[in-house]
């Protein structure tokens, strides 16, 4: 009797002890991680992938309950779906983002879905380490967003999260399972985040000692017409600091910032010096950017000067084709474009010229 009691007590003791477990496959509900960068923001989803497993037509509204329900386990009386299997799905943002236009702070969130036939409420919870949704509590919500439920013609056997419709500052994340797709858009304020990142990095030991990094930060602001005063300081450091360098790139960016800040006389003076340091490809690129900003006469002067320096250079010929086209001299533009196509030994240039000629003949904008 005593022996049996001791055996039972030992088994109960062992059952309540935590212990290191061997690494094994996760079974039918495979573990998965999917991550993408949106701009400079890392978005990562950790989830478990259940199978349809012959239950097609019995997933939504049956296996996956609709709305917020009492699952008769845990503490929640109004639990959403765990948006996967086993432990709750999590989603993590390295910076602040917007989901369907609503802001949410950087962090790791429990991700839940309250399903319906036509729409779904997606929930981001500050509680991110639960098992399923049995202990879900609305007070932990960081954000709720309602999105449409889309029907698919082909069935997806294993639940999947995918990133699609990607741009520089946005992407659509979609849950796909059986014949249902639940998409939601994540977007970022990329210029704001990029400037904040530059501020943190330009004074770090790994970054500040390279003029190229200071120039990159300053030129980003110039191109996007933002944060100009601070950018002028970065540009100055790219030239005049201990690690600075006076070259066409640094000077032309500095001149561009001065001009945008209303200091044109200074800008012109700096640009005169920059022009003496520029190589033909750099001057071509500068002329191209002038054309994009409708400064066609200034651009043509640069293209023409390149051509005088070296009339056999691919960039010199291309510049003359573009310069004439910008001035609406289509006949002369085509002459230079065809000359460049026939003369060049570079297959990339040859293909570009062919595309350019087609656009010119069709009267299209070649500077987009």
**What CATH number corresponds to the domain at position 332?**
1.25.40.10
Report if residue 3 sits inside a domain: no
Dump pLDDT digits (tens) for 18-52. Answer: 455 555 555 667 899 999 999 999 999 999 999 99
DSSP E strand boundaries for 100-204: 102-104, 107-115, 119-125, 141-148, 150-164, 170-187
The answer to whether residue 44 is domain-embedded is yes
Co-location of 258 and 125 in the same domain = no
If pLDDT is split at 50, 70 and 90, which confidence band does 14 have? very low
CB 83 within 8 A of CB 89: yes
- Indicate if 66 and 212 belong to the same structural domain: no
* Percent of all residues in the chain with a pLDDT value above 70, rounded to a whole number: 91
Which one-letter DSSP state was computed for residue 187?
A: E
**Are 53 and 172 in the same domain?**
yes
Which residues partner with 37 through β-bridges?
A: 42
Neighbours of 301 (CB within 10 A): 15
The DSSP bridge pattern shows strands 89-93 and 41-49 to be antiparallel
Domain ends where: 165, 188, 211?
188
Rounded-to-integer distance, Cα 258 and Cα 277, Å: 19
Quick one: 85 and 159 in the same domain? yes
pLDDT at 209 over 70: no
pLDDT of residue 131: 84
Q: Are 340 and 334 in contact (CB under 8 A)?
A: no
Give tens-digit pLDDT for 325-337.
Answer: 999 999 999 999 9
Which residue reads 């497993």 in tokens? 53
Q: Is the pLDDT at 339 greater than 60, yes or no?
A: yes
Report yes or no on 17 lying in a domain: no
The pLDDT assigned to 314 comes to 93
Measure the CA–CA gap between 63 and 234, rounded to whole angstroms: 58
DSSP β-bridge partners for residue 42: 37
Instruction: Compute how many other C-beta atoms are within 10 angstroms of the C-beta atom of residue 90.
Output: 21
Tokens of 337: 């474009």
Q: Which whole number is the average pLDDT over 216-235?
A: 95
CA distances 289 to 222, 299, 306, Å, are 12, 8, 15
Q: Is the pLDDT of residue 218 over 90?
A: yes
What is the per-residue pLDDT for 203? 79
Let me know if residue 248 belongs to a domain: yes
Give a yes or no: residue 15 inside a domain.
no
Over 70: is that where the pLDDT of 139 sits? yes
9 inside domain: no
Q: In the listed set 229, 255, 277, which residue is the last one of a domain according to the structure?
A: 277
DSSP state of 175: E
Task: Say if residue 241 is in the same domain as residue 284.
Answer: no
> How would DSSP label each residue in 325-349?
HHTT-HHHHHHHHHHHHHH---HHH
> What's the pTM value of the predicted model, to 2 decimals?
0.77
pLDDT of residue 79: 85
Other Cβ atoms closer than 10 A to 68: 19
**Can you list the alpha helix ranges (DSSP code H) found in the chain?**
2-15, 190-201, 211-224, 228-240, 248-260, 264-277, 280-292, 296-309, 314-326, 330-343, 347-361
For residue 168, pLDDT over 90 is answered with: yes
Residue 62 shares a structural domain with residue 207: no
The parent domain of residue 221 ranges over 189-277
Q: What is the mean pLDDT of residues 227-231?
A: 96
Alpha-carbon gap, residue 143 to 133, rounded angstroms: 16
Within-domain flag for 259: yes
User: Looking at the structure, do residues 39 and 184 belong to the same domain, yes or no?
Assistant: yes
Beta carbons of 256 and 222 less than 8 angstroms apart = yes
Q: Which residues of 149-166 are buried (b: 16+ CB within 10 A; e: fewer)?
A: beeeeeebeebebbbeee
Which domain CATH number covers 226? 1.25.40
Count CB atoms within 10 A of the CB of residue 200.
10
* pLDDT of 74: 86
Mark whether 161 and 228 lie in a shared domain: no
| Sheet with strand 30-38: strands edge to edge | 30-38, 41-49, 89-93, 107-115, 119-125, 141-148
Residue 253 shares a structural domain with residue 148: no
Q: Is 16 a member of any domain?
A: no
Last residue in a domain, options 188, 219, 254: 188
Sign of the alpha-carbon torsion through 313, 315, 317, 323: negative
Q: What is the number of domains present in the chain? A: 3
Distant-in-sequence, close-in-space partners of 269: CB < 8 Å, separation ≥ 6? none
Q: Are strands 119-125 and 97-99 parallel, antiparallel or unpaired?
A: unpaired
Task: Provide the phi-psi class of 30: left if phi over 0, else alpha when psi is between -120 and 50, else beta.
Answer: beta
On whether both 198 and 176 belong to a single domain, the answer is no
Examine the domain organization and report whether 51 and 159 are in the same domain: yes
Q: Clarify whether residues 271 and 363 are in a common domain.
A: no
């Amino acid at each position: 009797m005593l022996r049996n009691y001791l055996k039972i007590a030992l088994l109960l003791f062992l059952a309540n002890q935590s212990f290191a477990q061997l690494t094994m496959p996760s079974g039918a509900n495979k573990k998965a991680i999917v991550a993408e960068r949106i701009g400079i923001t890392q978005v990562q989803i950790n989830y478990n992938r259940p199978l349809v497993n012959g239950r097609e037509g019995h997933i939504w509204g049956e296996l996956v309950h609709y709305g917020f329900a009492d699952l008769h386990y845990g503490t929640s009386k109004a639990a959403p779906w765990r948006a996967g299997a086993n432990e709750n799905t999590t989603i993590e943002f390295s910076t602040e983002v917007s989901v369907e236009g609503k802001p949410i702070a950087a962090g790791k969130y429990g991700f839940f879905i309250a399903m319906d036939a036509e729409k779904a409420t997606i929930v981001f919870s500050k509680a991110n380490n639960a098992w399923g949704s049995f202990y879900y509590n609305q007070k932990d919500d960081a954000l709720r967003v309602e999105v449409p439920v889309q029907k698919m013609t082909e069935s997806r056997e294993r639940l999947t999260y995918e990133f699609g419709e990607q741009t520089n500052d946005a992407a659509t994340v979609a849950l796909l399972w059986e014949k249902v797709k639940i998409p939601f858009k994540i977007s970022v304020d990329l210029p704001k985040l990029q400037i904040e990142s530059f501020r943190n990095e330009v004074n770090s030991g790994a970054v500040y000692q390279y003029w190229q990094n200071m120039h990159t930060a300053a030129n980003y602001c110039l191109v996007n017409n933002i944060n100009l005063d601070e950018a002028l300081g970065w540009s100055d450091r790219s030239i005049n600091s201990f690690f600075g360098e006076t070259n066409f790139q640094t000077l032309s960016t500095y001149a561009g910032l001065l001009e945008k800040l209303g200091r044109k006389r200074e800008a012109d003076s700096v640009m005169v010096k920059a022009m003496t340091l520029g190589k033909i490809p750099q001057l071509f690129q500068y002329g191209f950017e002038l054309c994009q900003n409708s400064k066609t006469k200034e651009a043509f002067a640069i293209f023409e000067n390149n051509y005088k320096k070296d009339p056999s250079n691919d960039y010199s010929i291309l510049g003359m084709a573009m310069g004439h086209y910008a001035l609406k001299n289509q006949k002369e533009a085509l002459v230079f474009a065809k000359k460049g196509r026939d003369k060049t030994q570079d297959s990339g240039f040859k293909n570009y010229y062919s595309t350019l000629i087609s656009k010119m003949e069709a009267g299209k904008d070649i500077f987009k």
